[in-house]
Amino acid sequence: MAALAAFFCVCAWAVDTVAAERIVVGLALDLSGPGAIEGREARSAMLLEMARINRRGVAGGRIFLLTLDTKGSSEGTAAAVRELARKHKSVAVIGPVDHYASIAAAKAAHEERVPLFTLSAPEEILVPARQWVFSTARPSSLPVRLMLGHMKDRGIKRAAMLGSSLGYGTEGREQITALAPDFGVSILLNESFKPGEHNFLPFLKRASRRGVGGFVHWARGGSRVDLVRARAALDLDMPLYLSHASPGMFGSKSGDKAAEGVVFPASWLTAAHLLPESHPVKRDLTAFRNEYLKTYKSEPGETAAAAVDALRILAWSARGVGANRARIPAGVEGARYFTGLNGTYGFSKNDHNGLGADSLVLVRVRNGKWELVNDGR
């Protein structure tokens, strides 16, 4: 516990709200470990959103964000959740982003009886729903179904699967293995790679020899770029499917022609520039993206959207049931049609995530630019 420090805490007060009640919201995020990039993105996004929320106020008070650095470990995350609940009396905790850390956080939140909004969506903490645990991230089954549906439309019946050995990659591989038969797709190869791997030529060569019609890569980080370049080096026509892409990845600015034809699911925020003007929250997506870009000189991604939605849903619930941690879960379960940056949530007593397939779009790289995939071509 001593190793944990309040890495960052901030509150935004209007001049006339000095005496307003301080509503502590704990953030359990990796700010210095392997997931620091996403942890900092989540924190940055919530700082912007906190200022917006506090202009209106919440249950007679103002949000105060208190962040503990988990350093990316499951043990550190569980300890952070307990400290935020016990010592700092947080009305709720938001985070972490990591798969295994979220499982540890869920256990600690249950023991402490504090509402938790995780920024990843492991199936085991969401099915069945747990009283104190919610997620504003997207379950792996949603992008898996989107990609497999595209394979089916293109007549791809044989595929290879490569995922990271970390929790995110492992769950993606499990979901694809389980769901592929429903789409008439056979997974001929299902392999994993360790963190730090950069040579994907052997994986692609094995897939090519087996005659697969599509190759799925499920991981975060630079391995996506490494895989795309490995395919180009082998001059393979094999379609590549990525679990997701970061903002600007494989765009025209990179000048990387190796990504031509790569297909991946994208969040509303990541693909905001592709959405039609009639999209229900395009204006909100664009405004948030521009403010984030202006403030932090970088583009926000899916993690930022999930973080903002967690804080918005918490504030919405608190306005309805009060800033009382015991009442928050019931308040969130009443958010049956809450539309945020990451999608429309259909929370209920039995569903503590509520995102559907419409929270994603399928994107393809063509001529160095992203385009929406609206058919099986």
pLDDT tens track for 71-98:
999 999 999 999 999 999 999 999 999 9
Give the integer Cα–Cα distance in Å for 19 and 28.
Answer: 27
Residues 6+ apart with CB under 8 A from 15: none
Report the distance separating Cα 177 and Cα 171, nearest Å.
Answer: 10
Residue 91 · residue 318 · CB < 8 Å: yes
- Out of 3.40.50.150, 3.40.50.2300, 3.40.50.1000, 1.10.287.70, the CATH code matching 141-267+360-372 is 3.40.50.2300
Condensed to tens digits (0 to 9), the pLDDT of residues 174-213 reads 999 999 999 999 999 999 999 889 999 999 999 999 999 9
Listed by start position, the domains of the chain span 6-138+286-357, 141-267+360-372
- Averaged confidence pLDDT in the chain: 91
The CATH class of 6-138+286-357 is: alpha beta
CB 210, CB 158: distance < 8 Å: yes
pLDDT at residue 257, rounded to an integer: 79
Q: For residue 12, what pLDDT band results from cuts at 50, 70 and 90?
A: very low
Question: Is 70 exceeded by the pLDDT of residue 1?
Answer: no
Exposed, middle or buried: residue 235 (CB in 10 Å: 0-12, 13-18, 19+)?
exposed
DSSP 3-state helix, strand, coil percentages of the chain (rounded to 5)? 40, 20, 35
Tell me: pLDDT of 376 over 80: no
Question: Beta 61-69 vs 6-11: how paired, if at all?
Answer: antiparallel
Query: What is the rounded distance in angstroms from the CA atom of residue 270 to the CA atom of residue 121?
Result: 18
H/E segment holding residue 376: none
Question: Mean of the pLDDT values across residues 339-344?
Answer: 96
Q: What is the pTM of this model?
A: 0.91
Q: For 334, which DSSP code? A: T
Q: What is the mean pLDDT of the segment spanning 10-16?
A: 36
Q: What is the pLDDT of residue 247?
A: 83
Report the candidate in 290, 289, 297 with the shortest Cα–Cα distance to residue 270.
Answer: 289
Confirm whether 6-138+286-357 and 141-267+360-372 share one CATH topology. Answer: yes
80-84, 150-154, 194-198, 294-298: least confident range = 194-198
State residue 347's pLDDT score. Answer: 96
CB–CB of 41/303 below 8 Å?
Answer: yes
Q: What is the pLDDT of residue 59?
A: 84
Residue the block writes with tokens 């906190």: 50
Residue listed under structure tokens 């999209």: 279
pLDDT tens-digit readout, 229-258: 999 999 999 999 999 888 878 865 444 678
Q: Per-residue pLDDT for 24 more than 90?
A: yes
